[in-house]
Structure 1
Amino acid sequence: MYQPREHFQSGHRFGIEFGGAVLSFDRVTDVLRRQWPLIAAAVGASLALVIVYLVLAKPMYTANARIMMDTRQTQVLDKDSGTNSALIDTGYVDSQVEVINSDDLILSIVRRLRLTEDPEFNGSNPGLLAVVTGKIMSVFESGEPPTQERIEHAVVESIQKSLRVERVLTTYVLSLNYRAHSPDKAVKIVNAIADAYIVGALEAKYQSTKRATEWLQQRSVELSEQATASDRAVQTFKAEHNIVGTSRGLMSEQQLSDLNTQLVQARAATAEAKARLDRIEAISDQDLAQPTVTDALNNSVITRLRAQYLDLQAQYADWSRRYGKTHLAAVNLANKMEELRKNIADELHRIGDAYRSDYEIAKSREASLDKNVKELVAQAGHTGQAEVKLRDLESAADTYRNLYNNFLEKLQSATQNQSFPLSEARLISTATKPDRKSSPRTVLALVGGLVGGLCLGFGAAFARELLNDVLRTPGEVEDELGVKCLGVLPDIRPPTKTRALLSASAKADEAGLSRYVVDHPFSRFAETLRNIKVSIDVARMTREIKVIGIVSSLPKEGKTTVAANFAQLIAMTGHRTILIDGDLHTRSLTRELAPNANSGLVEALSDPTGFSYHVQRSKETGLDFLPSIVASRMVNSADVIASRPMADLLAMLREHYEYIIIDLAPVMPVADSKAFSVLIDAMVYVIEWGATTRAALQESISGSEILQKKLLGAVLNRANPKMLGRIEAYKGKHRNSYYVEHS
């Protein structure tokens, strides 16, 4: 019984669905067995193209030179540079790659080496491909001869295509690779490019330093003039405003500072003189014999008078105690003591007058200094604005002077750098002549061709299998229909060329195919039909199977040939067998086996009991054949084939025959087989190998549930013998040793 697609999907342990079919390991293996010639052809074609390429391609040689970015060399003139200045920005290194690939640098190489005269670059000795390409491009170009500039530009582009400049990992090293047909030319060009880059870097540095020096010189002259003008403006302004400078600042400021100092000192002296005067006046009314003023104590006159006074005072005290105070001697001593006091007082008054004089002098000096300070302060208030302007002029003069000094220093440094030949790049590896070609790489090309051919072959093989979506193996049939595949019938038709040559005898060929099992009884075709008979006989052990329909989805799938040979095979075994041409539309079986018959199935339906009058027997095999003879195509063929008389006829035939084989019309074009399916016991479905698609098979079987129930098995017909041998290679090389394909 027909089963839906889920039936066979569950039967695979591993597989993926692709294009409506399950792609399992077994199916992949089958595809490779069937399509290995296509894969081999793809691999062969790929290898052939690679070999042709290797033969025709000119060998290329690659020369390599390396340049290193090194800023430590430039630090010879820069003693103040830190250690971090030796680091180079990675973007700078990448920029140098573009500099080496630049048009100007390559153009200098072209002109220096005269590469426009080289046949490899000027096109004077082109290859076949270049000639063809040039002819094609000439159609789209103007007929004017190329200018020298265009020729040079073309050579520059050619060199840039063959030149590869790249950074080595994360280092500051640039690798230059150039490919050419000649190893000497490759070395010559890559070394020339490296030298041109280093020389160009030095030249660029020289020109840059030269331009900087010229600008610094011009700017230094301007700054010198500006600094001189600023100094002149300062001096002029000082002269106009009577501003005199000293080592300690402006003279007015120095005078004011000095007067302030003197004024402070004068005020201190005045205070001191006033204190001495007040003290001398305070002690004038006290005991003059005991002076406490410093000048009095240090005065020799007062000291002498005080000594005399003290001696007299001692005598007066002694005599007064002895003789009394009224004694004449005591009175004389008292008088002398009084005279001495007057003398001491006079001397103190003289000292006080001196103090008073010093006080007045100090007071007068203080007033004078205070007056001078006030005058200078007043004068400073009038010249404040001038001093502000003077500071601005001095600041501008200092700025211009500092700028001039800095530019003068940079000018001297730039002058030294201009004559110092140092570059930030140096050649660390000079290109040497390569001893072997870099392309084409024979082994790599062959491996690539082999891998590419395998990929192309596998892709074409699977595309051919999956896109065609046809059936080629018993497993695919069983997965699709859910019934047993009874065998694979090889294609017994002559080769295509032979059929074309024998087209005039096509009818004879068809008749020969209908009796193939008679002529080739030990062929694989005959043995496969015997396997079908065995399957039917096994089924007959459980149920009655006499009426067997041979059907296909589409016309020209070989069901008629299968029905004729199957019936003759059964008859040859001694079983009573009848073959009926049930295809009332084409009647191809009748044309092959009984082209001269005058009556047949239609006439037998009129009188089922007299069917024997319309049957023709083969003397060689004993097969009875009931042809179909109609004057024109029947409109109601489905009604006729499934009519009550047809049922009566089959009942009569069941009594006389063991096997009733009926060649039915295809399922998809007409409804005859579906209508007749209720009258038969079993059906054998014929599927054309490699031609019938799954979609056609699905549509044919799914249209009738009775047909699904009556379906006993299927058979693959017209299998390509050569491809069949590849598919069944797993059966061993002796798999066909029991078959005899020739009579």
Structure 2
Amino acid sequence: MYQPREQFHSAHRFGIEFGGAVLSFERVADVLRRQWPLIVAAVCGSLMLVLIYLVLAKPMYTANARIMMDTRQTQVLDKDSGTNSALIDTGYVDSQVEVINSDDLILSVVRRLKLTQDPEFNGSNAGVVAVVIGKIMSLFDSGEPASQERIEHAVVERVQKNLRVERVLTTYVLSLSYRSENPDKAMKVANAIADAYIVGALEAKYQSTKRATEWLQQRSAELSEQASASDRAVQTFKAEHNIVGTSRGLMSEQQLSDLNTQLVQARAATAEAKARLDRIDGISDQDLAQPTVTDALNNTVITRLRAQYLDLQAQYSDWSKRYGKTHLAAVNLANKMEELRKNIADEVRRIADAYRSDYEIAKSREASLEKNVKDLVAQAGHTGQAEVKLRDLESAADTYRNLYNNFLEKLQSATQNQSFPLSEARLISTATKPDRKSSPKTVLALVGGLVGGLCLGFGAAFARELLSDVLRTPGEVEEELGVKCLGILPDIGPARQMPKARALAPLAGRDAGNANGAIARYVVDHPFSRFAETLRNIKVSIDVARLNREIKVIGIVSSLPKEGKTTVAANFGHLTALTGHRTLLIDGDLHTRSLTRELAPNAKTGLIEALTDPSSFGYHIQRSKETGLDFLPSVVASRMVNSADVMASKALADLLAMVREDYDYIVIDLAPVMPVADSKAVSFLIDAMVYVIEWGNTTRSALQESVSGSEILQKKLIGAVLNRADPKMLKRIEAYKGKHHNSYYVEHA
């Protein structure tokens, strides 16, 4: 019976859920067996690219020099420096990396070593690829000859491309590496860049100290005047606006804070009074004697009146039953009850008037507070503007005063350091001539290519499997349908047949001797093939099921056309007939009649005529002389509109009931499930169904939609079979079965 894939898979073997599929160790092995050509192709392609790179790449040599940021040299004149002041910010060290890579520093090295005349840098000794790229890029240039500045800039870019400067871990050491085709040149350029950086640092520090001293002298005088003027401006402003500061600020600010608090409370009181008034107005229109009204008001007077009302109501009910509603006592009680209802209504109106008065008082108080707040805000605005101006003046005065003090201190320090500049960097490792090439690294490149190819291959293989929605293994079929997969039928299409395959023997002297006919009787020509053995497995499964229930009428069905169900039905009919069982094969696909075209293309009558007159059934049968298979074709002039009604008719039921007495197996080639409704219509007449699934083509979605659309079809399924499997792919998939697994099969006669 059909099971949802979630229920079927809940008891599956241990695996990892990924993307709706379960990746168990067995499934991974299956994926590798199926997709190993793709993995091998990816690895070979990756290694080929690596080999091409190794052949074309020029050997490069790397020279390394190291520079240290030495803070102790700058402490000679700093008498107050301690351990903390000697530390250099890590950002400063990283900034020096950019300084070494700067265009100006590299340009000084280019000019010093005259690298514009070196073929390695000016491009005169470039390879074929570089020459071609240069020719292409020249098409977009202006065509004017390159200037000296442009040539130098190109050489600077080439040097920067081969230069690598980085910080060594978390130390103050910079590693300077330069790559070149010549080891001597690599050493010379690396040392030249290191020397240029040390000299440039000294020169830059001297010039900056000199400029700083001159600027500090001028700026200190200006700041002294600005600080004095700012202090005078603060005092003058306070006197003009009569501003006196307190610990809690201005009086208007304190009053505004208190009024804001009172305003919030007044708004809450107004909302509460409005809610009570809305509630009393809402219940005024209701029956005031109801308990919901009195309970909502929670008023002792109303509660007492309602209690009296209930007592009178009970007494009135009792007397009305005894003496009638027109009795004087009953009438008096009704009048008293009405009077109590009026009293309750009067009390409710009194409460409503009280609530309305409270609401009006609360609104008045809220409006008064809002007016006071607005007045205070307007009043505080003028004072606040003066305070803003005062804070600006005080801030400016403090800033000028602090700046003046800082500049005065820096001026004294700069005056001392101007005549004694020291660099914080020193060369701790001079570059030496490299004795081995640094790139390309052959072993590392090959290992990387191998690992990259494997990763790419595995990724492509698993992506191809996980993204694929088709079925290729019995486990996948059982996972989707919840029924047994009865086997895998290899592809026996015309392209895979032997050139000298025997022609089809006629059925009753009228069979077609073409390739399709040979496929339809493949089990006759190849009785020991895997195809025939798989069909025997289907027959055995049906025979085992017949021990528990009667199974004679067997439907061969598929989800979509062209999945090979007709070929399976024809060969299964021949197989059962060859075993000595009385077998009837019926072409039940009234739309295409492909089985009739293969086995009896010249038939004039068939299933439709047999349904009209079941007693003449034998006149429409085509019998194979070689296998003894009886075939009932379908002959119609044009495609039938009511084919589903024909297949579900009582005439077909009577015909099947009649032929059950004469045949052991009745095999019906049914129409596909998804395009037409014929298979669903006739499913109640079928004892068992075999579902044909095209290997590597039928999607899970189509299979799920086909089977889940008919509950009867689900119950009648005895198993499924994968058809048209690629024999080469099957060998990879079933490699775990051993090399002797197919030794019993003889595919060619």
Closer/same/farther in 2, CA of residues 207 and 716 from structure 1, 3 Å limit: same
Native 8 Å contact 2:486 2:721 kept in 1:
yes
Equivalent residue of 1:451, what SS?
Answer: helix
Q: Establish whether residue 198 from structure 1 lines up as the match of residue 204 from structure 2.
A: no
* Residue in structure 2 matching 1:625, options 601, 621, 631: 631
Which amino acid in structure 2 is aligned with residue 5 of structure 1?
R
Deviations 1:226-277 (A, max 9, x none): xxxxxxxxxxxxxxxxxxxxxxxxxxxxxxxxxxxxxxxxxxxxxxxxxxxx
Please state if 1:571 is matched with 2:555. no
Query: Following the alignment from structure 1 to structure 2, what is the Cα–Cα distance between the partners of residues 413 and 644?
Result: 116
| 1:646–1:87 distance in 2 versus 1, CA, 3 Å | closer
Cα distance change on mapping 1:551 and 1:135 into 2, 3 Å: farther
Distance 2:411 2:78 in 1: 18
1:531-546 equivalent positions in 2, closer than 5 A: 531-546=537-552
1:433 to partner: Cα distance:
1.6
**Structure 1: gaps (5+ residues):** 223-405, 500-505
| SS in structure 1 of the partner of residue 661 of structure 2 | helix
Task: Return 51-60 or 546-555, whichever deviates more.
Answer: 51-60
Counterpart position of 1:155: 155
Contact 2:212 2:414 in 1 (8 A): no
**Structure 1 residues 67 and 607: alpha-carbon distance in aligned structure 2, compared to 1, 3 A threshold:** same
Residues 212 and 414 in structure 1, CA contact (< 8 A), matched pair in contact too: no
Structure 1: distance between partners of 2:443 and 2:34: 30
Structure 1 residue aligned with 2:98? 98
Write the mapping of 1:54-65 to structure 2, written as runs, cut at 5 A: 54-65=54-65
How large is the RMSD of aligned CA atoms in angstroms? 2.9
Query: Which residue of the partner structure matches residue 231 of structure 1?
Result: none
Per-residue Cα deviation, 1:598-625 (whole angstroms, up to 9, x for no partner): 1111111121121111111111111111
1:620-647 CA-to-partner distances (Å, cap 9, x unmatched) read 1111111111111111111112211111
Partner of 2:706: 700
Pairing 1:709–2:709 present: no
* Separation in 2, partners of 1:680, 1:215: 105
1:52-99: per-residue Cα shift (whole Å, max 9, x none)? 1122122222110011223444556x4846554654443433332222
What amino acid is the match of 2:543?
A: D
Q: Is this contact kept in 2: 1:609–1:652, CA < 8 A?
A: no
CA positional deviation for 1:540: 0.7
Task: Give the secondary-structure state (helix, strand or coil) at the position aligned to 1:655.
Answer: coil
Counterpart in the other structure of 1:50: 50
Would you say the 8 A contact 1:486–1:713 is kept in 2?
yes
**Separation in structure 1 between the aligned mates of residue 412 and residue 655 of structure 2, nearest angstrom:** 130
Instruction: Indicate the SS of the match to 1:605.
Output: helix
Conserved 8 A contact 2:517-2:598: yes
User: What secondary structure, in the 3-state scheme, does the structure 2 residue paired with 1:665 have?
Assistant: coil
Matching of residues 298-337 of structure 1 within 5 Å: none
Q: Report if aligned partners of 2:163, 2:177 keep a CA contact under 8 Å in 1.
A: yes
Is 1:679 paired with 2:720?
Answer: no
The answer for the alignment partner of 2:424 in structure 1 is 424
Taking a change above 3 Å as real, the CA distance of residues 427 and 613 of structure 1, as seen in their structure-2 partners, is same
Inter-partner Cα distance in structure 2 for 1:644 and 1:36: 55
Tell me how far 1:173 sits from its aligned partner.
1.8
1:43–1:452 Cα contact (<8 Å) kept:
yes
Alignment deviations for residues 698-720 of structure 1 (CA, whole Å, 9 cap, x no partner): 11011111111111100000111
1:205 Cα offset (Å):
4.5
- Quote the residue 2:305 is aligned against: none
The Cα of 1:28 is off from its aligned counterpart by 2.3
Query: Which of these residues, 517, 525, 540, is aligned with residue 519 of structure 1?
Result: 525
Q: Deviations over 1:106-128 (max 9, x none)?
A: 00111112222223322223334
Distance 1:411 1:694 in 2: 85
**Distance change (3 Å), C-alpha of 1:628 and 1:91:** closer
Equivalent runs, 1:248-263 vs 2, <5 Å: none
Q: Does the alignment pair 1:127 with 2:127?
A: yes
1:30 aligns with 2:30: yes
Task: Give the SS at the match of 2:177.
Answer: strand
Q: Distance in 1 between matches of 2:53 and 2:702?
A: 46
Equivalence map 1:256-271=2 (5 Å):
none
* C-alpha spacing 1:117/1:494, structure 2 compared with 1 (3 Å): farther
Tell me if structure 2 keeps the 8 A contact 1:548–1:680: yes
CA deviation string 1:5-61 (max 9, x = no partner): 222221224334444433333322222211111111111111211121122122222
Question: Quick one: which of 554, 557, 560 aligns to 1:554?
Answer: 560
Q: CA deviation at 1:479?
A: 1.1
The amino acid across from 2:547 in the alignment is M
> Which position in structure 1 is the counterpart of 2:621?
615
Contact 2:554–2:690 (8 Å) recurs in 1: yes
Aligned partner of residue 660 in structure 2, secondary structure = helix
Helix, strand or coil for the counterpart of 2:589? coil
CA contact (8 A) 2:213 2:411 kept: no
- 2:457 pairs with 1:461: no
Structure 2 CA distance for aligned equivalents of residues 497 and 62 of structure 1: 64
Matched residue, 1:169 = 169
Contact 2:209 2:417 in 1 (8 A): no
Which residue matches 1:21? 21
Give the Cα–Cα distance (whole angstroms) in 2 for the partners of residues 215 and 641 of structure 1.
Answer: 106
Instruction: State how far apart, in whole Å, the 1-side matches of 2:693 and 2:449 are.
Output: 39
Q: Which moved more, 1:533-542 or 1:191-200?
A: 191-200
Query: In the superposition, relative to structure 1, how do residues 413 and 484 fare at CA in structure 2: closer, same or farther (>3 Å)?
Result: closer
Give the fraction of aligned pairs with identical amino acids, expressed as a percent: 81
For 1:573 and 1:652, the matched residues in 2 are separated by 23
* In the alignment, structure 1 residue 738 sits paired with structure 2 residue 744: yes
| Distance in 2 separating the partners of 1:410 and 1:481 | 88
Change in CA separation of 1:599 and 1:427 when aligned onto 2, cut-off 3 Å: same
1:724 maps to what in 2? 730
Partner SS state of residue 480, structure 1: helix
State the match for 1:399 in structure 2. none
CA–CA distance in structure 2, aligned partners of residues 69 and 482 of structure 1: 73
**TM-score (structure 2 length as normaliser):** 0.69
CA distance in 1, matches of 2:92, 2:484: 76
SS of corresponding position for 1:656:
coil
2: CA distance, partners of 1:696 / 1:414: 86
Deviation at 1:570, TM superposition (A): 0.8
Trace 1:596-607 onto structure 2 (pairs within 5 A): 596-607=602-613
TM (norm. structure 1) is: 0.69
Give the whole-Å Cα distance in 1 for the aligned partners of 2:411 and 2:676: 107
Contact 2:494 2:519 in 1 (8 A): no
TM-superposed deviation, 1:670: 0.6
AA in 1 matched with 2:592: T
For 2:116 and 2:498, locate their aligned partners in 1 and report how far apart those are by CA, in whole Å: 64
- Aligned to 2:681, the other structure's residue is in SS state helix
* C-alpha separation in 2, matches of 1:412 and 1:676: 109
Whether contact under 8 Å (2:644, 2:681) holds in the other structure is yes
Distance 1:192 1:477 in 2: 72
Q: Name the amino acid aligned to 1:525.
A: F
Between Structure 1 and Structure 2, whose CA radius of gyration is higher?
1
Indicate if the aligned counterparts of 1:7 and 1:479 stay in contact, CA closer than 8 A: no
Number of equivalenced pairs: 548
Cα separation, 1, equivalents of 2:412 and 2:631 = 126
- The separation in 2 between residues aligned to 1:554 and 1:150, in whole angstroms, is 70
Note the 1:167-316 alignment, pairs <5 A: 167-207=167-207
CA displacement, residues 423-461 of structure 1 (integer Å, 9 cap, x when unaligned):
433222111122222222222222222222222212221
Asked if the contact 1:187–1:431 (Cα under 8 Å) also holds between the matched residues in 2, the reply is yes
- Residue 662 of structure 1 deviates from its aligned partner by 0.8
**Alignment partner, residue 641 of structure 2:** 635
Compared CA separation, residues 673 and 128, structure 1 to 2 (3 A): farther
Are the equivalent residues in 2 in contact too, given 1:523–1:741 (CA < 8 A)? yes
Structure 1 residue 693: Cα displacement: 0.6
Specify the alignment match of 1:648 in structure 2.
654
1:160 Cα deviation from its structure 2 partner: 1.6
Alignment partners' CA distance in 1, 2:467 and 2:417: 80
Is 2:12 the partner of 1:12? yes
Per the alignment, do residues 407 and 456 of structure 1 end up closer, same or farther by CA in structure 2, a change over 3 Å counting? closer
Separation in structure 1 between the aligned mates of residue 103 and residue 639 of structure 2, nearest angstrom: 84
Report the CA distance shift for 1:18/1:108 in structure 2 as closer, same or farther (over 3 A). same
